[in-house]
Chain A
Amino acid sequence: MASVRRNPNKIKQGSVAVDIILYAIALVICLITLYPFYFVVIMSISSPSEVAAMNVFWYPKGLFFDSYELIIRDSKMWWAYSNTLIYVVAGTILNCFTAVLGAYPLTVRNLKGRKWVIAFLLIPMYFGGGLIPSYLLVNKLGMYNTMFAVIIPGMVSIWNIILVRTFFTTIPDGLKESAFIDGASHWQLLFKVILPISKPILAVIAIYSIVGIWNSWFDALVYLPNEKLHPLQMYLYRVVVQQSVDLKMLSLEDTKNAVANMLSNIQLKYAIIVFTTLPVIFTYPFFQKYFIKGALLGSLKE
């Protein structure tokens, strides 16, 4: 410390060296995490026999685009795409909204029964009644085989509420106090003061919701027998499930078909993964600006 103080310029010099190390580490991490996706991409455009033999590691072998053609020409896929968009947009908006509504009151210190409310929130994170009761409920509410069956039950995420609440507690009390002195109600405080400075956490909730809904298929599996309502991930799920068929349980003729199916799916799987994940990966940069140092101040100034 002492030496630093004597020589302020050295801080900068030292940090260049540190910078280089940091960048090097980041680069390595980047490569390690980038590889699997690269792997999926080159698998998706290599010839099926090379893919089946797992010979592809560094560059595509025997360029093959038929899988993409097959996917693009499939009208069901485009149906699924538009369905997923509906689910994602509706679900994300609802999730952000409910997370804020659920979280804010829990940050107010003189909320009576706060402990109980939190217990009320935590218990369902650990205990559930299983599939059949939920199915009966959705069915009773008349949502079976409608889009609501996927949107409505998933519109509240307790986990998100807790994340937002944690973020809210880091907001300086001074901000709230000044609002109260101006005579604001809790509604006004929430929407006029808290929300504008909560962009980073809302961005997180949005990303979590978008990705979560984009990747989800289980609700659709249970509640939507109608193929026309299927989201995109059911597409991938169906290919993956077919692969896990136990060939030993099948008779000779059925084995023939199963093997043929498996072979054509080995490669198709990778193309579908690329096709179904790329769009959602590209949404990330739009939210990224909220995670940069000082974003809060930026939004305060707005």
Chain B
Amino acid sequence: MKRWKRTIVSAMAAVLVIGVVAACNNSSGESTKKESGDSASSGQQNGKLRLLGPAGSNKYIKFDDRAKYPVWGEVDKLLSDAGLQLDYELVPSEQYSVVIKTRMASGTNLPDIVNISALDNTTVLNLAKQGVLLDLKPLIEKYSNGNIKKMYDVEFPYAKKSTTSPDGKMYWFSDLHKKTYQGKDPAPVSLTMLIRKDWLEKLNLPVPATAEEYLQTLKAVRDKDANGNGKKDEVLVYDPSKFDGAIAQWFGLGTDITAVDVESKKVVSPWYQDGIKDYFRYLQQLVKEGILDTSLIGGTAEQKQQKMTENQVTSLSDYNLETYQEPTIQGGGEYLPLMPLKAVDGITPAAQLEPPFLVWQKYAITKDAKNVEAAIKFFDTIYSDKYADFLYWGIEGQTYKKDDNGANVYINNKSDEDLAKIGQTPGVKLFGDTVFPRVQFANLEFELSSVPKYKADNELSILKYKPYFVNMNGNYLAIPDDKQLETKTKILTNLSTYSTELATKLALGQKSLDHWDEYIAEMKRLDWTS
């Protein structure tokens, strides 16, 4: 009995103490809230806004040093002309995801405008349902000067689709990007198989034109010791566990377990497509010949970089216009992008494209915003042509110029370190993706002018190439509603575990294609929505 009494007494004592502590904090919390409330109401006139976002991760061009960049002066002027006074809270980018998740989930310490890109669609919709985020549509109707509407309706009509929630509301603004060629044609770049051009030339090998030739070429490159180090260690870097390496598309396969066929507006899964068995047969051959480096499967970007630096990568899947791999090769080298190669009769090889229109990142207005008019004004300023120019191109004559055909091209194609020294950079490196959305009117002309001709040629032929799949399927999928979401979260992990494991084992020949029907039956069992 006594023991019980004591327990109760001590528990009560503990509760008391905690109650006092909590009370203290409550009152202090309220008093600070009042203060901020006061400042916000006085901010009603002068358009004060608090913004929360990640600090950029650029080592040299830092937001803290913004005063020394002319482009910031221009943007700052745009903002102050709109009567805005901005108060930034920038959190180190590596930390931001955790900070925003905890703050949003708890609904505390919220600013007026917040970058919530780290949250997935579902979480955001739930936050909106709890009233943490505001529906933007009525606010735009009421306060906007028309800029936002113009940008979303005229320039980026598809952006609306991927940012409107199933209940017809809109909770976030986005980064908007489009890349065009000759002023209007959409210009996607492709992800494709790259092959060492200098090695082909050195060994007098022709550029492979079919999948079979490709295999033979890789074999020849290795057997003839193209890098000349005395070892047969020239390899193909390719991850067979997913379908986002470009070889899969040679067999007409989609780029993900659920991929979007944009032309026919259908969702496809590579597992149920015609070329799938041939694809694995082909991979098995690559593995058997020892061309595909199996030790890199599931490896990190850093490990792949090692192979690259060691001058051992004959071929890999990457952007056709990439220029960042070559400088890292010890001894140098050149990568030639291949067009999609024919692999099977009856299947036209597809290309893998990065969509020319991108919509990504999320910027929202929170329930704690005292001055929503100013918040909308902020986004009106962002979604203007002037801002877009400053952001992506910078200042004419300083960071970019017009070429003969009137297309913008950068002047200083230098490293970030040098750009920081001379203080000349387009806005995107300085403040893009922090609390400032990116609005980008990119063009292909500049990209083409900064790559070797053989890469540019590949890009020009890919522009008209069909069929194709896109690598960022999310851009084409509508936001799921609650029900879809529930089923998705329930099956997705098991399904993708099964898919990656099966794909890898098939490619490595650890599982035989003979039992194909069993695998598919098992997959259908996991994916009971199909």
Residues of A within 8 A of B (CB): 49, 52-55, 112-113, 116, 131-132, 135-136, 139-142, 144, 221-222, 225, 227, 230, 234, 237-238, 241-248, 251-253, 255-257, 259-264, 266
Q: Are A243 and B306 in contact (CB under 8 A)?
A: no
B59 at interface, CB cutoff 8 A: yes
In this complex, the interface size class of chain B, counting residues with CB under 8 Å from chain A, is: 35 or more
Interface core residue of A234, A238, A248 (most chain B CB under 10 Å)? A248
Shortest Cβ gap from A33 to chain B (Å): 24
How many A-B contacts if CB must be within 8 Å? 110
Given A225-B91, A259-B324, answer yes or no on A139-B108 (Cβ-Cβ < 8 Å): yes
Q: Are B95 and A238 in contact (CB under 8 A)?
A: yes
Of A131, A142, A238, the contact of B25 (CB 8 Å cutoff): A142
Given A139-B106, A243-B300, A262-B302, answer yes or no on A225-B95 (Cβ-Cβ < 8 Å): yes
A54 to chain B: closest residue by CB: B306
Q: Are B189 and A252 in contact (CB under 8 A)?
A: yes
- Which chain B residues numbered 1 to 39 have a C-beta less than 8 Å away from chain A? 2-3, 6-7, 21-22, 25-26, 28-29
A218 to chain B: closest residue by CB: B98
B99 at interface, CB cutoff 8 A: yes
CA separation between A263 and B57, bound complex, in Å? 14
Q: Are B106 and A52 in contact (CB under 8 A)?
A: no
CA separation between A152 and B301, bound complex, in Å? 38
**Cβ proximity bits B350-394 to A, threshold 8 Å, 1 near / 0 not:** 000010001000000000000000000000000000000000000
A contact face: mostly helix, strand, loop, or mixed:
helix
**Cβ proximity bits B171-211 to A, threshold 8 Å, 1 near / 0 not:** 00000010000000000010000000000000000000000
B301 to chain A: closest residue by CB: A247
Q: Are B301 and A252 in contact (CB under 8 A)?
A: no
Q: Are B95 and A243 in contact (CB under 8 A)?
A: no
A141 to chain B: closest residue by CB: B25
Q: Are B322 and A255 in contact (CB under 8 A)?
A: yes
Residues of B within 8 A of A (CB): 2-3, 6-7, 21-22, 25-26, 28-29, 57-59, 89, 91-92, 94-95, 98-99, 102, 105-106, 108-109, 177, 189, 244, 300-302, 305-306, 309-310, 319, 321-325, 328, 330, 354, 358, 416, 442, 447, 471-472
Q: Are A221 and B95 in contact (CB under 8 A)?
A: yes
Shortest Cβ gap from B129 to chain A (Å): 17
Of A54, A238, A257, the contact of B58 (CB 8 Å cutoff): A257
Of B98, B108, B416, B471, the contact of A136 (CB 8 Å cutoff): B108
Of A132, A243, A251, the contact of B106 (CB 8 Å cutoff): A132
Of B95, B244, B300, B324, the contact of A256 (CB 8 Å cutoff): B324
CA separation between A257 and B109, bound complex, in Å? 32
Of A227, A245, A260, the contact of B92 (CB 8 Å cutoff): A227
Which residues on the A side are within 8 Å of B319 (C-beta)? 252, 255
